[in-house]
Chains A and B, each alone.
Chain A
Amino acid sequence: AQTVTQSQPEMSVQEAETVTLSCTYDTSENNYYLFWYKQPPSRQMILVIRQEAYKQQNATENRFSVNFQKAAKSFSLKISDSQLGDTAMYFCAFMKSNSGTYKYIFGTGTRLKVLA
């Protein structure tokens, strides 16, 4: 079975600095998808970034980028120029086809606090 591990339950970072959240996963599949979701306090979970395993290039969305190491099964999220609005719970998620149906497997999350 696939598992997703986020080893940092909580992190903090000073405003304007860079922080990296780690995520590792376990799978024997070759084709799969990886996601980072952000869940701000009392607000809905929103997609930050996604990565297709067949793409070697790391995905980037403005201040958010990933370091995808397929051989190491690692998918870390880097947030540059951290802002107070980045304070949230961050979930790493894995997705692959299971009998033709795609479902998420989520990690347990990392709570990030950006300090003023």
Chain B
Amino acid sequence: DAMVIQNPRYQVTQFGKPVTLSCSQTLNHNVMYWYQQKSSQAPKLLFHYYDKDFNNEADTPDNFQSRRPNTSFCFLDIRSPGLGDAAMYLCATSSSTTYAETQYFGPGTRLLVL
């Protein structure tokens, strides 16, 4: 089945220690998104890639970066994680952003910052 895969499902890091979360997709979608979801809150869009074009949300902290080396993979880098960055990170894909396409989500990576 075509799907969105996130690894690892759980990640523990130390305060200030860089961490990378990964996402891969077999849907061959043009767009890949990263959302941050804190407990009992709505998912918040951090940024998205349309092919190789990176689109950052205005309120996404500089501490968060992303890379998309090819169509299938996208990475979320947190350069210096703080305690407030502990959250579930969701990756999603869609075929386009120029129409109201359904987004397909991965299972998420839960990040714990010690």
Contact = CB atoms under 8 A, between A and B. Distances in A.
Interface of A: 4, 9, 33, 35, 37, 42-47, 50, 52, 91, 95-97, 100-109
Interface string B38-75: 00111101000000000100000000000000000000
Interface of B: 4, 40-43, 45, 55, 90, 97-103, 105-108
A95 B100 contact: yes
A91 B43 contact: yes
A43 B107 contact: yes
B18 to A, nearest CB: 26
A103 B105 contact: no
The A interface is mostly helix, strand or loop, or mixed, namely strand
Contact of B4 (A44, A50, A102): A44
A101 B42 contact: no
Contact of B102 (A4, A47, A97, A105): A47
A105 to B, nearest CB: 8
Contact of B98 (A4, A35, A52, A101): A101
A101 B55 contact: yes
Given A47-B102, A102-B98, A109 B107 contact: no
16 contacts: A35-B102, A37-B105, A43-B107, A46-B105, A47-B102, A50-B100, A91-B42, A95-B100, A96-B100, A101-B97, A102-B98, A103-B45, A104-B45, A105-B42, A106-B42, A109-B42
Contacts of B41: 108
A32 B108 CA distance: 27
Contacts of A103: 45, 97
A40 to B, nearest CB: 10
B107 A42 contact: yes
A44 B107 CA distance: 4
